[in-house]
């Protein structure tokens, strides 16, 4: 048996109607993807026009990645971490450990990483 329920508000009780991405024919005619204005938690989605607390951190993250990412660096890191001798754990313990990692490249994700993983 399948049940379809109409959801009119999000997790926080906000009205979903204002968060729906536009789906008119003109915008979708070229097969493109329309990015929603809000994520499922009602937060702005990748709004780079807004000055945020994390904006400087995101800019520095990408600047360092583009400056130091070269063939020799990648080769050195693969050699170091390719040995896989740092730790041994089951998959759930690994997920819990990674929950504490902050993704500096994602300025609009304030939910825990494990919740993002399970989505």
12-49 CB burial, b ≥16 within 10 A, e <16? eeeeeeebeeeeeeeeeeeeeeeeeebbeebeeeeeee
CB hemisphere CA count around 62 (13 angstroms)? 8
116 labelled as ligand-binding?
yes
pLDDT tens across the length of the chain (119 residues): 445 445 555 555 555 555 445 455 655 565 555 666 666 666 665 555 566 666 777 778 888 888 878 888 889 989 988 888 888 889 889 888 888 877 766 655 667 777 777 77
Q: How far is C-alpha 46 from the chain's CA centre?
A: 9
* pTM of the complete model: 0.33
Parse the chain into domains and list their residue ranges: 1-45, 52-118
């Amino acid at each position: 048996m399948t049940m379809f329920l109409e959801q009119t508000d999000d997790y926080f009780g906000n009205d979903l109607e204002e968060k729906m991405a536009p789906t008119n024919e003109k915008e979708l005619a070229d097969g493109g993807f329309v990015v929603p204005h809000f994520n499922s938690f009602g937060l702005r989605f990748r709004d780079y026009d807004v000055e945020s607390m994390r904006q400087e951190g995101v800019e520095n993250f990408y600047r360092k990645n583009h400056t130091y990412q070269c063939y020799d660096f990648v080769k050195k890191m693969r050699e170091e971490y390719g040995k896989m001798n740092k730790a041994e754990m089951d998959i759930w313990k690994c997920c819990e450990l990674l929950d504490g990692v902050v993704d500096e490249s994602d300025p609009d994700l304030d939910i825990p990483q494990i919740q993002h993983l399970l989505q």
